[in-house]
């Protein structure tokens, strides 16, 4: 079989290492192109804050808000509140852990996702992720790391394990899902977002988000281009729903839990989290 240059390039483009290198090169080129920032109408005004949760579009927002800040000459932080600096213009808190009483005047956004999709997405991510905590052997995992132990289970067992363990114990204030349940959804300073809405209609939703942030029309247009660059397709080269099991952005499709949840998963989920899906507007009752 003969390979021509086009076939070789297509083969390279499908490799994970090629995608990672290309991503880094794109970031460097983007930063170089945007050395000259523009004046921004929101600088030195209210703090802009985005609050999110594990597997709820955090990477997308982090990359986008970071580059938007650089383009607009704003100070950006991705950190806990205790490390938030007084001159920060845009702040992302990925556990949605915040004491609003100690926060200076702000506007912001908060993103959630169907907790069933969070569970499935976290399961597939933790099968391969290189985060330190996931690779430390522990007695409770038969002296294996969380990742290795998860890989020793069947998919059905693994999703149950993920539901009972990491999402329950791997967070400083309880489970990711319980954090979502505890959030105050009636704060007028915050625009509430669902991953499912934003991922399927990003331009419309980001226009609303940037309006909440106080961006003018010119700033919004520039910011939308950055958001598109760091979208699922822009970052992976794949259409939404095309799966890469060893990518942090695996599939992105809303409702993927339907392809993986069994009756046992459903029963365990309801046992642990009760009517949370009804509270969040994802279901009308428990007969899903």
Q: What pLDDT, in 10s, does the model give residues 137-164?
A: 999 999 999 999 999 999 999 999 998 8
Residues ≥6 apart with Cβ < 8 Å to 139: none
Is the pLDDT at 7 greater than 80? The verdict is: no
Asked if 233 and 239 touch (Cβ cutoff 8 Å), the reply is yes
Lowest pLDDT segment from 110-114, 232-236, 268-272:
232-236
Considering only CA atoms, give the Rg of the chain. 20
Please indicate, yes or no, whether residues 272 and 158 belong to a single structural domain of this protein.
yes
| Domain presence at residue 81 | yes
Q: Which residues constitute the domain of residue 73?
A: 39-114+179-236
Looking at the structure, do residues 93 and 171 belong to the same domain, yes or no? no
Is 22 a member of any domain?
A: no
pLDDT of residue 172: 38
Domains in the chain: how many in total?
A: 2
| Residues 109 and 128 occupy one common structural domain | no
pLDDT band, very low/low/confident/very high, at 277 (cuts 50, 70, 90) = very high
199 and 252 share one domain: no
Residue 266 pLDDT grade (very low, low, confident, very high; cuts 50, 70, 90):
very high
* Start-end of H helices in the chain: 5-13, 16-33, 58-72, 115-126, 146-151, 155-164, 166-169, 176-182, 195-200, 202-213, 217-229, 232-236, 263-273, 276-279
183 and 158 housed in the same domain? no
Query: What's the confidence (pLDDT) of residue 278?
Result: 97
**pLDDT top residue among 237 and 83:** 83
243 domain residue, yes or no? yes
DSSP summary character for residue 38 = -
Find the mean pLDDT for residues 5-24.
53
Mean pLDDT, residues 133-139: 92
Q: Are residues 128 and 168 in the same domain?
A: yes
Q: What is the mean pLDDT of residues 5-9?
A: 54
Higher pLDDT, 162 or 15: 162
Is 209 within the bounds of a domain?
yes
Q: Is 253 inside a domain boundary?
A: yes
Quick one: pLDDT at residue 188?
98
Co-location of 47 and 101 in the same domain: yes
Shared domain check, 190 and 126: no
- Asked if residue 212 lies in contact with residue 106, where contact means CB atoms within 8 angstroms, the answer is no
Residue 251: strand, helix, or coil = coil
Asked if 106 and 249 sit in the same domain, the reply is no
How large is the average pLDDT for residues 107-135? 93
- The percentage of the chain sitting over the pLDDT mark of 70, rounded to a whole number, equals 76
Residue 86 included in any domain: yes
Task: Specify burial of residue 95 (Cβ count, 10 A radius: 0-12, 13-18, 19+).
Answer: middle
Taking 70 as the threshold, does the pLDDT of residue 171 lie above it?
no
Question: Encoding tokens for residue 54?
Answer: 């594990």
Q: What is the pLDDT of residue 169?
A: 53
User: Is the domain of 222 the same as that of 160?
Assistant: no
Per-residue pLDDT, 131 = 87
Give yes or no for a contact between 50 and 61, defined as CB atoms under 8 angstroms apart: yes
Residue 13 in domain? no
Separation in Å, CA 154 to CA 159, 168, 192, 267: 9, 20, 36, 18
Residues 108 and 54 in one domain: yes
Structure tokens at 140: 């409770």
Q: Residues 213-233: pLDDT tens digits? A: 999 999 999 999 999 998 766
Mean pLDDT for all residues in the chain: 84
Same domain as 156, residue 46: no
**Average of per-residue pLDDT across 225-251:** 64
pLDDT for residue 175: 79
Sorting pLDDT into bands at 50, 70 and 90, what band is 51?
very high
The partner residues of 144 in beta bridges, in order of sequence, read 138
Whether 217 maps to a domain, the answer reads: yes
Question: What pLDDT does 142 receive?
Answer: 94
Looking at residue 110, which CATH number applies to its domain? 3.40.50.300
Nearest-angstrom CA–CA distance, 226 and 235: 11
pTM of the predicted model as reported, rounded to 2 decimal places: 0.80
């Amino acid at each position: 079989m003969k390979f021509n240059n086009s076939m070789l390039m297509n083969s390279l483009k499908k490799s994970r290492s090629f995608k990672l290198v290309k991503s880094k090169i794109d970031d460097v080129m983007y930063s170089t192109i945007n050395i000259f920032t523009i004046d921004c109408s929101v600088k030195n005004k209210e703090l802009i804050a985005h609050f999110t949760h594990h597997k709820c579009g955090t990477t997308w927002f982090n990359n986008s808000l970071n580059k938007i800040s650089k383009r607009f000459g704003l100070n950006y932080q991705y950190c806990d509140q205790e490390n938030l600096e007084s001159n920060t213009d845009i702040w992302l808190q990925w556990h949605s852990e915040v004491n609003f009483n100690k926060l200076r005047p702000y506007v912001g956004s908060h993103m959630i996702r169907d907790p069933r999709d969070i569970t499935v997405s976290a399961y597939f991510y933790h099968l391969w992720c290189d985060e330190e905590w996931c690779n430390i052997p522990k007695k409770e995992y038969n002296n294996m790391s969380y990742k290795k132990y998860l890989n020793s289970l069947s998919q059905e067992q693994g999703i149950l394990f993920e539901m009972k363990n990491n999402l329950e114990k791997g967070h400083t204030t309880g489970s990711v899902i319980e954090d979502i349940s505890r959030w105050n959804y009636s704060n007028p300073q915050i625009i509430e977002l669902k991953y499912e809405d934003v991922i399927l209609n990003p331009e419309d939703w980001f226009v609303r988000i940037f309006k909440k942030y106080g961006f003018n029309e010119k700033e919004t247009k520039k910011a939308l281009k950055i958001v598109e660059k760091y979208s699922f397709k822009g970052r992976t080269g794949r259409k939404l729903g095309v799966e890469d099991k060893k990518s942090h952005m695996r599939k992105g499709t809303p409702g993927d839990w339907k392809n993986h949840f069994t009756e046992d998963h459903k029963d365990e989920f309801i046992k642990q989290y009760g009517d949370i899906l009804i509270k969040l507007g994802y279901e009308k009752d428990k007969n899903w």
